[in-house]
Chains A and B, each alone.
Chain A
Amino acid sequence: MKPINLAEIKPRPGTQAFFRWRQIGDDAILITNLEGNWLILTVEEFTQFARGESTPDSPLHERLLDKNFLRSNYDVQAASERVKARKYFVHGGPLLHVMVVTLRCNETCVYCHASRANMDQVDTDMSIETARKAVDLALSSTNGFITIEFQGGEPLVNFPVVKEIIEYATERNKEIQKRLEFTMVSNFALLTEEKLAYLLANKVQLCTSIDGPEELHNAQRKLPVSHNAFQAAAGWIKRVNEAYIEIGLDPTLYHVEALLTTTKATLGKWKEVVDTYVGLGCKTIFLRPVDPFGFAERARLRLEYPRGEYLEFYRKSVDYMIELNKQGVEILERYAAIFLTKMLRGEDPNFLDNRNPAGAGIGQLAYSYDGKVYSCDEGRMLAATQDQTFCLGDVDTPYRKIVGHETIRAMVIATNLDQQPDCVNCAYNPYCGTNAAYNYKAQGSVFGRMRDNNVCAVHKGIQDYLFEKLAENDPEVMAIFERWTTIRPREHFVQEPGRTPELESDLEAAPSEA
C-alpha cells in the first residue's frame, strides 16, 4: 500500500467535525467519528475533506452530512443517541459468572499447564458449600441477565457440584426472577447419556474445544487411554446436535459450537480448520490466538508466533469462509461478527473482552474452586501462577465490596479507550476494546502499550481486513456480513423464572433418555 502524503494534502480545520482516519488501501481512506459512523473516501475526497473544503451540494458533501461529519450541521442529539446505544452495557453490572468447579482435567493440553490439575488432585474440586455461596454472590448482581458458565479444569469431572449449582440457582431464581442461563465448556470426553439427559433437561448450553483437524487436535490435546480426544469430542457434538433435534429445536439455531486455540501449528492449516468445523456441523469459528495465561515459558516458545503470521492465517481462513458462504455453507467467524455488528449496526454485542470499557468486574466475575473471586477468568488463571493481582475477595465477601474493589476501578479506567494513548487517535476506537489482565501479564501494567501490544495488533489487523472488504463493497460479501451480524437469540436456553429444576430422579422417565 502506498501511504498518502499528508504534507501534500495540507490538512487544516474547516468544515469537518471531529474525526479519526486510517488508510486502508491505495485509494481508500477510512474516516470515523465519535459515535462510530464511518465512510471510506478516495484520496481525492479525503484531500478535500481534510482541507475542510467540502462543497455544498456535491455528492461528497451529502455523504459527509448523512454520517454527521460536518461541523456546521453536527447533530449532537443524534450523536449522543448513538453513543448511548453503543455503551448501553456500561452500567449493567456483571452478567457472566464463570464457575471453576474443579481444576482437575482428563486432558493434557500443550497450552494449558498452570490452570489445570491431575485427576487425582481432588483437593481442587469446588465444595457444595462454596458452590452455593458462589451462586448467592452471582445472583446478587445488579444485572437482570445472569449466565453461569461452568469451566475447569474439566467441569464434568465434578458433576455433582455442577448439578448443585444448577439446582440451587434455579431454586433461588424462583424468588429473584432473573433471566438465568447456564453454559458449559467441556471437552465432552467424560459425557454420558445420563449426564447429557440432565444437561438437556436443565437447558444447559454446551460448548466444546476443537483445535482443528483430528491429527492437530490430538497432538495439542492429549487424552489418556483412548488417545483420541478429537473423536471423543466429535462423537458427542453429533450426539448433542441429534438430541436438540429430538427435543424439537431448530438445528440452524441450536447446535454445539466449538472454540479454537490457534497455535503455531494451526497457522498453515487454515483450510483444514474451517473444513473440520463445517464437517462437525458448527456454524461459528472463533479464530482465537493463543493467550499468555496458564502455560509455561518453554511452551510459549513452541506455541507462540508473530501476530503478523496470525493475521495472514486469519485473512486466508475468513476469505475461505466467505467463499463457502457464497456456495451456501453457513459458517461465520466470531471476531468478524463482533466487529461487524459494531461497524454495520451501531450496536455492541457485549463481548466482554472487546468492549470499551472491558467487562472485568463490571460485566463478569470468575469464581475459583477454592472460593476466591476474580475480576475475570484471565485473573483467575494468573492466580494459578501465584499472582493474586486480580483477586477481589472470596465467596464470603459482600457483593458490593467485590464489584466496588479498587482493582475493578483501575481495570475500568485502564480499558477506557479515552485514556489510552494511540486509541484516542485510532480510527477503530468506536469498535474496539483492550484487556487489562492481558496488558498486565504481557506488558507489566493494566494499561499496556498499544503500539507493541498483541491484542491491539490482532484487533487492528482484523478491522483492517474487514474495512478492506467493506471498501470493495461486493454485494454478495455485504449480504454475508449482514447475515453474520443478525443476532437470533436462543430463547430455549433461558430458564423460565419459577421453573423447578429437573432432578436426576425425574430424568429416568424423560423422553430424551429413551
Chain B
Amino acid sequence: MSSENQTSFTDIPEAIASVSGTDRSVSMTVDSELYPLQAVYGASYIFIDRCYVFIDRPAAGSYRITLSAKESVEEVEALRRIVGEFANELLSCTWRHQVTQDNRVAIETVTVQAIAGAMGEPSLDDLADFDFTDEALDDPLGIAQSWEEKHGRPSPGPSPEAKAEADADAEPKADTEEASA
C-alpha cells in the first residue's frame, strides 16, 4: 500500500489503533494485550456481510484487521464510519469476553436450565437416535483405554466369534464413509 493513496484517520490515537486505508479498504492494527483474539473474531464476523475481512499479525503482540468494502465506498466518511463502528464493536466484544469469563457459571446455569426445561426429558426414540460416538470424554490419564493400548502390549488374538463380529461391523462403516465422501 503506497502512501499516496492512504486515507488519513488522524483522530484515532495510534497508541490504541493505527489505521490506514485506500479508497475501498481500511486496515486497523490493534494491541493483542488489549483486544484478545476471540474479541477480534467476534467483531470481524459482524462485518462479513458488508466487507471482506482479513486478520493477520504484522508483529508479535498485535492484530491487523483489514476491512475491504463489498460495495464501492466512494467517500472517506463511509470508510470512517466503518472504522468507527468496528472499533466500537471490538470494544464491546472485548468487554463481553471478559464479562462472560467472570460470569461463566451463572450464564451456563441459566442456559442449561432454559434449554433443558424447554426440551424436557428425552423419549426412548430420542435415546435410540442419540449419537453416542461423539468423543466428549477427556481422558488424559488413559483410564478409558484398554491395558494393552495403554502399555503398548500386543492384545491377545480375537476369538473366532469376535473376529466374525468385527467383520460384520466393518461393512456398515464402509458405507458411512462412502456416503460422507
Contacts and interface: CB of A to CB of B under 8 A. Distances in A.
Interface of A: 87, 90-94, 141-142, 357, 361-362, 398, 400, 403-404, 408-409, 412-413, 416, 418-421, 424, 443-445, 447, 449, 451-452
B110 A90 contact: yes
Most chain A CB within 10 A, of B42, B95, B117, B118, is at B118
B154 interface: no
B111 A400 contact: no
22 contacts: A90-B113, A92-B117, A142-B117, A142-B118, A361-B118, A362-B118, A400-B126, A403-B115, A404-B118, A408-B118, A412-B110, A413-B107, A418-B99, A418-B106, A418-B107, A421-B92, A421-B95, A444-B46, A445-B45, A447-B92, A449-B89, A451-B88
Interface of B: 42, 45-47, 49, 88-89, 92, 95-96, 99-100, 103, 106-107, 110-111, 113-120, 122, 126
Contacts of B116: 91
Contacts, number: 88
A90 B88 contact: no
Chain A, interface SS category = loop
A409 B103 contact: no
A90 B119 contact: no
Nearest to A410: B111
A43 to B, nearest CB: 29
Contacts of B126: 398, 400
Most chain B CB within 10 A, of A91, A93, A412, A419, is at A419
Contacts of B100: 419
A215 B51 CA distance: 44
Contacts of A400: 119-120, 122, 126
A404 B88 CA distance: 32
A409 B114 CA distance: 9
A404 B118 CA distance: 8
Contacts of A142: 117-120
Given A419-B103, A449-B92, A409 B111 contact: yes
A449 B88 contact: yes
B106 A91 contact: no
B95 A357 contact: no
A398 B114 CA distance: 18
Contacts of A424: 99, 103
B117 A91 contact: yes
A91 B103 contact: no
A418 B114 CA distance: 15
A421 B99 contact: yes
Given A362-B117, A413-B111, A444-B46, 6 more contacts: A403-B115, A403-B119, A412-B114, A420-B96, A445-B42, A445-B46
Contact of B113 (A91, A420, A451, A452): A91
Given A403-B115, A421-B96, A357 B110 contact: yes
Nearest to B109: A90
Contacts of B106: 418
Most chain A CB within 10 A, of B42, B46, B116, B119, is at B119
A409 B99 contact: no
Contacts of A408: 115, 118
A391 B49 CA distance: 19
A404 to B, nearest CB: 5
Nearest to B122: A400
Contacts of A419: 96, 99-100, 103, 107
A398 B119 CA distance: 10
A452 B91 CA distance: 13
Contacts of A418: 99, 103, 106-107, 110
B115 A404 contact: yes
Nearest to A365: B118
